[in-house]
Structure formats: structure tokens, C-alpha cells
Amino acid sequence: MSDMLAKRIIPCLDVKDNRVVKGVNFLNLRDAGDPVELGSRYSDEGADELVFLDITATIRSRKTIIDMVEKVAENVFIPFTVGGGIRGIEDFDVLLKSGAEKVSVNTAAVDNPNLLSQAANKFGNQCVVLAIDARRSKSRTGHWQVCVKAGTEPTDIDVVEWAVKAEKLGAGEILLTSMDADGTKAGYDNQLNKAVSSAVNIPVIASGGAGKLEHLYDAIAEGGADAVLMASITHFEECGIHQMKEYLAAHGIPMNL
Amino acid sequence: MIVVINYAVGNVKSVCNAFEHIGCEVKLSRNASDIEHSSGLVLPGVAAFGYAMNALGDLADLLKKVVRQGKPILGICVGYQLLFEQSCEHGDNKGLGFISGKVIKLPDGLTIPHMGWNSVELPQNMELFKGIGENKHFYFAHSYYSQTTDSQAKFAYTDYGFKLPAAVQKSNVYGTQFHPEKSGPSGLAVLKNFQKICENY
């Protein structure tokens, strides 16, 4: 029914020591290592939202990330999510106060699911993003396992069950990364996207595997995704965000153009 | 000078950043004298309704007083919802009551929160939207919405499977359910219009 709500294009930037180490390399952007500069350019290009991931995520890097969030918030006037190394409610508090719109959490929520309710009760569920790293189960066909610690550690938790539980607890959005599709440029795992998006009522961001314009369309049309995230696409069909949006709009997807 | 009410909830800084970006003098404060001497007030909001109202505490009475005297106020997101009489988010909670009506959960069957960019029909008789165009996308992130029968209030709407109130104006009381500070150039234009409203106060 929500026909008018535009589907979102979300570039993701991996940040280490206040430098972007993995971003989306569109041809018309020179490779800028500065998160503020790159975030600002993506915003000008028409990105609907940004995700910054602190890939060092040590206690020492926390301070650097907070400084970065403050600078991004002073220069970028679209929503952005910050994730990586979130441990507790204090991290939500400080990142939101520094100017992030949302905070994404993976491992800490698996360890302590009540963190989702705590954060939702205090800040509202719209700023609580549950990141799920999903891997196809080898033993159960049509099922996916939740992986934690940056995808290095598989658990016995079923992805769809976890998504449903997380929604009940207070997650406002799910950032769903397919570990199988990530880096392949062969398209999103739309069986995964569909399984999760049809099981929950909160928005699902599809992540991992984008390489062509039609992959974006498929994630939305087949996978039921509300947004598509792209982490590391080199020379994405030689086009930028604006062209992606025009392509999707021309194929009947509502976009903010 | 515009005062952004600092009531220790979530992301209040982004609103200040956006005003500074458009060249508007702004101060984040909860000091009574700052509020009384301001040219206008902004009630930001990233929090649950009850938590936000609680965090306002005694400031609620001061806000009611200065707004009754004609000072412009702009409520954003939960700040918009606080302009109404009550909300049922996490139990019944009273709001500021500038606009009659209540805040209730979005209907079942919709994706909740209503999160992302939705297009808003912009009535040309609402000061916040002067010169921006007839239809623009703005960034929404909320799970509750306002229901009102206030005949003195003007509303702008968006389509989310039903006619969802996106902005309000009732004399000097203004509000947006969406986040103008996160809505790119169109959002900054709304803040610029509020700046002009405050300059004329």
C-alpha cells in the first residue's frame, strides 16, 4: 500500500582511522579517503541515506568515530547510520547525540537482545537498526544462519526467526547482508531478502552482491527490499546514484528524484 | 535568535547544524531567559513521546506561556507530536495541547516505522512551504501519527496507504512530522522559511 514511499539507495562507507577504506567507487567521484567529503559528495549525487561502518571498532577508535560523526552531521543533511563495535545503550546515546540518525548493531544484540528494547524505549525504534550477517545453512535448505563478529563467527540462530524476534523487541529496520553474495557482484540474495521482508513489518535494507542496475531492481521487486545498500562496487556500470534512481524510476519503482 | 530546546533527547544537534548551514543564528538551550528572549523556538525530537515529555519537565509550562504570547514554535517529528493533546505511545501521555487531537500508532498492515522519503503535497497557503514547489520528498522516521479534528489548523499530507498528516500550522504553531534537517535541499528550504517567520515576529 505504501506506494508513495520512495525506495532508497544507500552507499556504505567502511571507515578506519578516520579514512574511508572501502567505499563505492562511482566513476564520477575521485577516490576520496575523507569520510566527510565522500559522504557529502554521495549526498549531492542523490544518495537517500548513508551508512558508516567503524571497521576497527576498538575502544580507542570510538573517539575518532564520534569526531567523524560530528563532522558529517555538520555537512551532510540526509540521514546516516553508524555501526560497528556497538556494545551498549551508551554507544547509542553518544552517537545519536553526535548527530547520527540511526545506530546499527549486530553482535551486541545477539549477545543481549534486550539492548534492542532498551534502545527503542529510550530513543524510539526508528533509530534502532539491526544488522544481520546471513549465511546459507548447509544443513537446512532454505534457511540462513546469523553470523556475528563481522561475519567471522556463525551461530545456530535462524535469520528469519531472529528478524521476527528483533522486530518485537524494538528494531526499527533490518540491514540484511548476505555473506554468500557479498563481493560477488552477481546480485543480491533475493530468496533471503524475500524470506525476511515477508516475515517482518519493518523496512529491510538489502546488502551484498550488487553489480548491475537490474540487481537493484530485483532486490526491490523480487526481494521486497525497501532499500538497497552498496558497499564496494567498482565502476558500477559506469553510472552514478542519480542514474540508478532514474533507471529504477523508469521501471516503475517510486524514487526520490 | 532561534533557540532549539535542549531536552537531552537523541539527535538535537542535527537541527542546530542545519540552521547554522543556512546562516541562521541558533542556540541549543533549555535556559528560561534564552527561551523568553528568542525570536522563535524549535522543539526537536528523536525519542519516545513519554520520554520526551518527561525530559521537558517544567519547560512545558514556559513553552505554553511564550507560545500563547505569539512566539513561533516549530515541532519536528516527536516534537511535532508533542504539539498535540496526547499520545498513546508506551502508555497514555499528555502533550503540550497547542493543537487538538491525539497521536496514535500507524495502522497494522503498513511497514512500521514509516521510514524513508515520501512525497508531500505542499499547500501554498502554509508559510513553511512558500516558494518550495507543489510536491517534494521529505525524510520521515516515525511509528505514530497525529489524528486531529482541529478546524483552525492547516495540514499538509503525504500518502502512506492513507492520508497521513505531514505538517501543521495553527497561527504561530508549526510542525513537521518529517525531518527537515535530514531532507536535503527541500528540508533546508523549510527551515529557511521558518527563519523568515521568526525574523518577522
pLDDT recorded at residue A26: 56
Which of B16, B24, B77, B198 is an active site residue? B77
B25 is catalytic: no
Contact A172 B113 (CB under 8 A): yes
Q: How many CB atoms lie within 10 A of CB A16?
A: 17
Is the pLDDT confidence value at B197 over 90? yes
Measure the CA–CA gap between B80 and B142, rounded to whole angstroms.
11
Measure the CA–CA gap between B138 and B29, rounded to whole angstroms.
27
Contact A4 B119 (CB under 8 A): yes
Contact A96 B11 (CB under 8 A): yes
Q: Worst-scoring range by mean pLDDT, A48-62, A73-87, B66-80, B122-136?
A: A48-62
For a pLDDT cut of 90, what percent of chain B falls above it? Answer: 80
Measure the CA–CA gap between B125 and B123, rounded to whole angstroms.
5
Where are chain B's structural domains?
A: 2-199
Q: What is the mean pLDDT of the segment spanning B91-115?
A: 91
Taking a contact as any Cβ pair under 8 Å apart, which residues of chain A between 34 and 53 contact chain B? 43, 48
pLDDT recorded at residue A2: 44
Helices (H), chain B: 13-21, 32-37, 49-56, 59-68, 78-81, 184-199
Measure the CA–CA gap between B121 and B130, rounded to whole angstroms.
12
Contact A77 B48 (CB under 8 A): no
Chain A residues within 8 A of B51 when measuring between CB atoms: 121-122
Task: Pick from B6, B9, B11, B179 the residue to mutate for testing the A interface (most A CBs within 10 Å).
Answer: B11
**Phi and psi based region of residue A89 (left: phi greater than 0; alpha: psi -120 to 50; beta: remaining):** alpha
CA A166 to chain B, closest CA, distance in angstroms equals: 13
The secondary structure element, H or E, covering residue B163 is strand B163-170
Measure the CA–CA gap between B119 and A73, rounded to whole angstroms.
24
Q: What is the mean pLDDT of the segment spanning B44-71?
A: 89
Which of B89, B114, B142, B181 is an active site residue? B181
Please say whether the beta carbons of A34 and A65 come within 8 A: no
pLDDT recorded at residue B155: 97
Nearest chain A residue to B182 by CA: give it. Answer: A78
Local confidence band at B50 (pLDDT 50, 70, 90 cut-offs): confident
Q: What is the mean pLDDT of the segment spanning B29-33?
A: 95
State the 10-residue block means of pLDDT for chain A, 257 residues long.
77 86 60 82 91 80 86 95 94 91 96 96 90 94 93 93 97 96 90 97 94 94 96 62 93 95
CA B69 to chain A, closest CA, distance in angstroms equals: 31
Chain B residues within 8 A of A70 when measuring between CB atoms: 13
Q: How many CB atoms lie within 10 A of CB B159?
A: 17
| Domain with residues B2-199, CATH architecture | 3-Layer(aba) Sandwich (3.40)
Contact B188 A77 (CB under 8 A): yes
B181 is catalytic: yes
B89 is catalytic: no
Local confidence band at B51 (pLDDT 50, 70, 90 cut-offs): confident
Contact A226 B13 (CB under 8 A): no
pLDDT recorded at residue A194: 98
For a pLDDT cut of 70, what percent of chain B falls above it? Answer: 98
Q: Chain-wide mean pLDDT for chain B?
A: 93
The secondary structure element, H or E, covering residue A147 is strand A144-148
Please say whether the beta carbons of A169 and A117 come within 8 A: yes
Read off the DSSP letter of residue B129: G
* Residue written as grid cell 568515530: A65
Contact B47 A122 (CB under 8 A): yes
Q: Worst-scoring range by mean pLDDT, A51-60, B77-86, B163-172?
A: A51-60
* Residue written as grid cell 543564528: B25
Q: Which residues contact A11 (CB under 8 A, 6 or more apart)?
A: A23, A24, A42, A47, A50, A51, A229, A230, A241
pLDDT recorded at residue A185: 85
Q: What is the mean pLDDT of the segment spanning B157-181?
A: 97
Q: Is B94 on the interface with A (CB under 8 A)?
A: no
pLDDT recorded at residue B48: 75
Contact A73 B17 (CB under 8 A): yes
Q: Which of A2, A5, A124 shows the shortest C-beta gap to B78?
A: A124
pLDDT recorded at residue A55: 84
* A53-87 confidence digits (pLDDT tens): 998 866 666 778 899 999 999 999 999 999 998 99
**Phi and psi based region of residue B159 (left: phi greater than 0; alpha: psi -120 to 50; beta: remaining):** beta
Chain A residues within 8 A of B105 when measuring between CB atoms: none
DSSP three-state, residue A192: helix
